[in-house]
C-alpha cells in the first residue's frame, strides 16, 4: 500500500505541470487566432473591435477559459484568456506584435 501511495504521489507531481502546459498551449493558440482576426478587422475597418462576435472566428469554446478583448484603442490593445474551470492562470496577447503575458496584462506597443 505504501509503495502504491508513493507512486501515485509522484505521478501527481509530474502530472500538474503537464496539464498547465496544455492549458497554456490552448490559451495561446486561441489568442493567436483572435489577434489575427483583430488585425484583419483593423485592416478592413481602420479600428480594432472590442466585440469578438464582430470577428469571423469560431474558436471560443473552452472548458478552461473565456476569451475577450478587454483593452483596445485605435493602435493597440490585448486579447485575454480568463481562467475558469481547472485553469490556474490568465493569459494575454498584444494585438500589435503578439507579445505574450501570463497573470497580468502586458504593456502593448
Query: What Rg, from alpha-carbon coordinates, does the chain have?
Result: 17
* Confidence (pLDDT) at 59: 67
* Confidence (pLDDT) at 89: 92
Residue with cell 472590442: 50
* Confidence (pLDDT) at 30: 94
67 DSSP β-pair partners: 81
- Written as nine digits, the cell of 56 is 469571423
Task: Profile the chain (109 residues) by mean pLDDT over runs of 10 residues.
Answer: 69 63 88 94 91 83 89 86 90 92 88
Taking the C-alpha atoms of residue 79 and residue 94, their distance in angstroms, rounded to an integer, is 6
Amino acid at each position: 500500500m505504501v509503495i502504491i501511495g508513493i507512486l501515485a504521489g509522484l505521478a501527481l507531481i509530474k502530472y500538474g505541470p503537464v496539464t498547465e502546459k496544455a492549458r497554456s498551449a490552448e490559451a495561446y493558440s486561441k489568442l493567436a487566432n483572435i489577434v489575427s482576426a483583430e488585425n484583419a478587422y483593423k485592416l478592413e475597418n481602420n479600428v480594432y473591435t472590442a466585440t469578438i462576435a464582430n470577428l469571423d472566428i469560431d474558436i471560443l469554446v473552452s472548458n478552461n477559459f473565456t476569451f475577450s478583448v478587454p483593452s483596445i484603442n485605435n493602435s493597440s490593445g490585448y486579447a485575454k484568456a480568463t481562467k475558469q474551470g481547472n485553469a490556474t492562470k490568465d493569459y494575454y496577447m498584444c494585438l500589435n506584435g503578439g507579445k505574450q503575458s501570463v497573470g497580468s496584462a502586458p504593456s502593448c506597443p
